[in-house]
C-alpha cells in the first residue's frame, strides 16, 4: 500500500528522477511533471498528497503555479524546491501559502524528513476539518432540537418553564407570561426559584377556595370574586348580584358577612 502520492514538478530530469527513485523505494507513489501546464493537468487527473514545486520552470515560475493551485482550492500540501534560496523568495512563497521550503541541493534524508512532516501536517489538518464539521453538525442538530422544543413549549396551554443546570430560566411559554402578567422575555435568565415563588403567590391569590381569604369590599361583605360582582342595596342589606362567572369553591355564588355567615345568594347571570 502506498504511503502517499507525490507530484514532482521540476524542469531538470536528474532532479525529477532522483526524487522519484528515493521516494519510490520508501513506498511512495510518484508522478513527474516538467512544466507548470503538465503539473496542472496531473493535479486535475488525480489527487495528490504532496506537490514538490521547483522555483524556476520553463513556462512559469513556482510562485505563480502555487498561486494557481491555491485559487483552484486543490487539497494538496506544497513544498518549494530551489537553488535560488533567499529571504525574499521565502517570504513571497510563505505569503502565497507554501507549506514548506526545501533549498537545493538536499540529501535523501532531508527529502524524506520533509515528506514525512508534510504528511503529518496533512493528517492533522484533515482531522481538524473533520472535527470542525462534526462540531458544526452537532450545533445544527442542537439548534433544530431547541427549535422543536421551543415550538412544543410555546404551544402548551399550561404555564411551562425550561431551566438550565444553573437554575436559570431559559424558556417560558406565553401561558407563563399571562399567569404572571409579564412578557416571557422578562423571565429569561432569572433564578427559577424566584419565578416559581411568584407563580405560587399568584396562584394563591387567584384560588381563594370558599372565599376564605375574605377580602372586605364595602358594607362589610366579602364576595369570592369582587371584580365579577355588582353591588346594590335590598331591604337595608348590601348584596352582590349579577354573577358573571362561577368559580370553583365560591360556594355557589354566596356572599359572606363580616362574621362569616352567609348574607345572601346571588342569582346566576
Rg (CA), the chain: 41
Tens digits of residue pLDDT in 256-269: 444 444 444 444 43
pLDDT per position as a tens digit, 218-253: 333 344 444 444 443 333 333 444 444 444 444 444
1.10.357.140, 3.10.20.600, 3.40.50.2300, 3.40.47.10: CATH of 5-129: 3.40.50.2300
| Per-residue model confidence (pLDDT) at position 232 | 39
Domain definitions of the chain by residue range: 5-129, 156-205, 208-265
Closest CA to 76 of 40, 103, 105, 108: 40
| pLDDT single digits (tens) 174-189 | 888 888 888 878 888 8
Nearest alpha-carbon partner for 67 in 104, 36, 101, 32: 36
**Inter-residue contact 36 to 82 (CB < 8 Å):** no
Q: Which portions of the chain are predicted below pLDDT 70?
A: 1, 85-86, 143, 206-269
Q: How far is CA 102 from CA 78, 82, 84, 109, in A?
A: 11, 7, 11, 12
Amino acid at each position: 500500500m502506498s504511503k502517499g502520492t507525490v507530484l514532482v514538478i521540476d524542469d531538470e530530469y536528474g532532479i525529477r528522477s532522483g526524487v522519484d527513485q528515493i521516494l519510490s523505494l520508501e513506498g511512495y507513489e510518484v508522478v513527474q511533471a516538467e512544466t507548470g501546464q503538465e503539473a496542472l493537468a496531473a493535479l486535475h487527473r488525480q489527487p495528490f498528497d504532496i506537490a514538490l514545486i521547483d522555483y524556476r520552470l520553463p513556462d512559469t515560475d513556482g510562485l505563480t503555479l502555487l498561486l494557481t493551485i491555491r485559487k483552484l482550492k486543490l487539497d494538496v500540501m506544497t513544498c518549494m524546491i530551489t537553488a535560488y534560496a533567499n529571504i525574499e523568495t521565502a517570504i513571497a512563497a510563505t505569503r502565497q501559502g507554501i507549506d514548506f521550503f526545501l533549498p537545493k541541493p538536499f540529501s535523501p534524508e532531508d527529502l524524506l524528513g520533509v515528506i514525512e512532516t508534510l504528511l503529518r501536517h496533512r493528517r492533522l489538518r484533515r482531522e481538524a476539518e473533520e472535527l470542525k464539521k462534526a462540531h458544526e453538525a452537532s450545533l445544527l442538530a442542537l439548534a433544530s432540537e431547541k427549535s422543536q422544543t421551543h415550538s412544543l413549549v410555546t404551544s402548551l396551554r399550561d404555564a411551562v418553564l425550561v431551566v438550565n443546570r444553573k437554575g436559570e430560566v431559559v424558556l417560558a411559554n406565553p401561558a407563563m407570561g399571562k399567569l404572571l402578567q409579564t412578557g416571557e422575555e422578562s423571565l429569561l435568565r432569572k433564578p427559577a426559584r424566584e419565578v416559581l415563588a411568584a407563580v405560587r403567590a399568584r396562584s394563591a391569590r387567584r384560588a381563594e377556595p370558599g372565599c376564605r381569604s375574605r377580602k372586605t369590599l364595602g358594607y362589610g361583605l366579602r364576595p369570592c370574586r369582587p371584580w365579577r360582582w355588582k353591588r346594590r342595596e335590598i331591604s337595608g342589606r348590601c348584596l352582590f348580584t349579577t354573577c358573571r362567572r362561577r368559580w370553583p369553591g365560591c360556594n355557589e355564588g354566596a356572599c359572606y358577612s363580616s362574621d362569616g355567615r352567609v348574607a345572601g345568594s346571588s342569582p346566576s347571570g
